[in-house]
Amino acid sequence: MSTFSPSLRIELIDTGAQAGVWGTTTNTNLGTLIESAIAGYVSVLVTSANQAFTALNGAADQSRNMSIALTTSTTDVFNVYAPPVEKTYILYNASAYTATIYNSTVQGNTTAAGAGVAIPAGKTLTVWSDGTNFQLQNTHFIGTVVGNVTGDVTGNVTGQLDGSITTTTTGVTQAPGNNTTRLATTAFVTAALQAVYPVGSIYINAGVSTNPATLLGFGTWAAFGAGRVMVGLNGADPLFDALEETGGSKDAVVVSHTHTANNAGSHSHTTDIERFLNYTPDNFTGNNAYVQGLGNAQALPSSTAGDHTHTINSTGSSGTNANLQPYITVAMWKRTA
């Protein structure tokens, strides 16, 4: 009478048994069963939320194979169950839903004996079982890692990560503000930058004038404050009590004012002339009637007109570009969306 090995269910022939057919049984053991366990592949269609791999004594089955591809018609997440024995599997989830593998409590049932391992849709994992719990085959890498890293990286990665990475490396995006030693995904970094530059914020760059949407990879930005400096909001000052108020001029402004010149009204100017020696009327023709009888020094009146015009000349320089504080130019952008 034959028995079967506990892990791979290979037929163990009793001494002296199976005369004439021993070779057939041995060929099945070596050429089918053991070979499947080492290098076998099978595709399993899962038709229910919980489904056990087939497990047969001395005959081909699903659970004995090294590599198993999973497909499903459930249109939802699903669980598969392997026999409660030690075994290593390479599992490819070819479906669009997460699959989880467990050990059964009893061969063939769909009650989980212990911990399982989830295989994301479209991913491949190597797992091993101690007969009760499934574990990931590798949780520590030394050297080159090529391919996908999905989920939390909680251990150490020693050496270099290089080579040809032909697929996307993904991870768990941490909550905003997380300051632990967990790795930050690109989504986390982008969210952090968006928190620094919310809609309405100003981006300033003194090196390049490139639109921040190109530099940061998010948002809609508009050029801001061309030819202007910024002033802090001041609710107590009507000029600065609202956001984006504008005003001022770079040209100096002369405050309106008046120049006054006093006019003395009707007045006269006088001058003294000496008496002419040897005066005769012919020496001062035209003034004879006026100056006869005058003394040695007499006053001769000039015009007595009262109103005069005074001209005040302007001084100083042009006010154009004369009202500027010390400045330095930068590129400024406002996030609008």
169-200 per-position pLDDT tens digit: 677 888 878 888 888 888 888 998 999 999 99
C-alpha span between 148 and 164 (Å, rounded): 12
Q: How confident is the model at residue 67 (pLDDT cuts 50, 70, 90)?
A: very high
Q: Does the predicted TM-score (pTM) go above 0.85?
A: no
Average pLDDT over residues 153-157: 51
Residue that the structure tokens 């037929």 belong to: 11
Question: Quick one: pLDDT band at residue 54, thresholds 50, 70, 90?
Answer: very high
User: Which pLDDT tens digit goes with each residue over 82-120?
Assistant: 999 999 999 999 999 999 999 999 999 999 999 999 999
Neighbouring CB atoms inside 10 A of 333's CB total 24
- The residue among 49 and 183 whose pLDDT is bigger is 49
For residue 134, give the nearest of 165, 112, 154, 150 by alpha carbon: 112
3-state helix, strand, coil in the chain (%, to 5): 10, 25, 65
Are the C-beta atoms of 75 and 52 separated by less than 8 Å?
A: no
Integer Cα distance of 65 and 39 in angstroms: 7
Joined tokens for residue 99? 């699959």
Please give the single-letter amino acid code of residue 193: L
Task: Tell me: pLDDT of 124 over 80.
Answer: yes
Report the percentage of the chain scoring pLDDT > 90: 45
Side-chain-side CA neighbours of 27 within 13 Å: the count stands at 4
pLDDT band at 50 (very low <50, low <70, confident <90, very high): very high
The yes-or-no verdict on residue 261 having pLDDT over 70 is no
Q: Could you give the CA distance from residue 159 to residue 152 in angstroms, rounded to a whole number?
A: 19
In angstroms, the CA 230 to CA 244 distance is 9
State how far the Cα of 146 lies from the Cα of 157, in Å rounded to an integer: 13
Q: Which tens digit of pLDDT belongs to each residue from 222-243?
A: 999 998 888 899 889 888 889 9
Three-class DSSP category at 173: coil
For residue 193, the SS3 value is helix
